[in-house]
Amino acid sequence: MPRIELSTEISSSVQICFDLSRSVDLHKLSTAKTDEEAVAGKTGGLLDLNETVTWRATHFFIRQNLTTKITALQSPIYFVDEQLNGIFKSLRHQHIFTQDGDKVIMTDIFDFESPAGILGQLFNRLMLTSYMRKFLMERNQIIKQFAESDRWTEVMDPKNYK
């Protein structure tokens, strides 16, 4: 099973980074290239424990749906989303946040498994792992841009953050 591990350093508060990472609205903005839209479940705001969202997007020229659920959450340091339905055989994404002085270390641990046995494994090695790494890195850069500026207020209510 492929695993992607990424760390992103962000000059912001851990709560803002945590909330941006579970914001449906920011996810829509950060995935504009793949036309992602939330079509069922929670379609705006912040995802909480046991909530689901179904995303519709185009990847590799294929229009597809992916339903995920927040299966673990400990604010503001950790949450996990897992696929309930979708193209993957399995998908589990851990989001870990550590405050280090005036910076946050945002860590992604993204485990996934493709269907189709040996063909799926070959596809992972040749294309999918690299594609998903780039996808996550681009998303993390959007989170970083919003968190390090006042742009986070475009998707979250500043009254909730003192």
CATH code for position 99: 3.30.530.20
Give a yes or no: residue 162 inside a domain.
no
Provide the domain count of the chain.
Answer: 1
Structure tokens at 123: 């596809």
CA atoms lying within 13 Å on the CB side of residue 32:
5
Q: Confidence class of residue 32 from pLDDT cuts 50, 70 and 90? A: confident
State yes or no: pLDDT of 12 exceeds 80. Answer: yes
Residue with tokens 């609205």: 25
Give a yes or no: residue 159 inside a domain.
no
Give a yes or no: residue 161 inside a domain.
no
Tens-place pLDDT, residues 45-86 = 999 999 999 999 888 888 889 999 999 999 999 999 999 998
- pLDDT (average), residues 93-101: 96
Give a yes or no: residue 160 inside a domain.
no
Tens-place pLDDT, residues 42-53 = 999 999 999 999
Give a yes or no: residue 115 inside a domain.
yes
By the 8 A CB rule, do 161 and 13 touch? Answer: yes
Residue 119 has a pLDDT of 82
By the 8 A CB rule, do 111 and 8 touch? Answer: no
Say how far apart CA 145 and CA 75 lie, in whole Å: 21
Boundaries of domain holding 93: 3-153
Q: Confidence class of residue 158 from pLDDT cuts 50, 70 and 90? A: confident
Say how far apart CA 86 and CA 65 lie, in whole Å: 6
Give a yes or no: residue 71 inside a domain.
yes
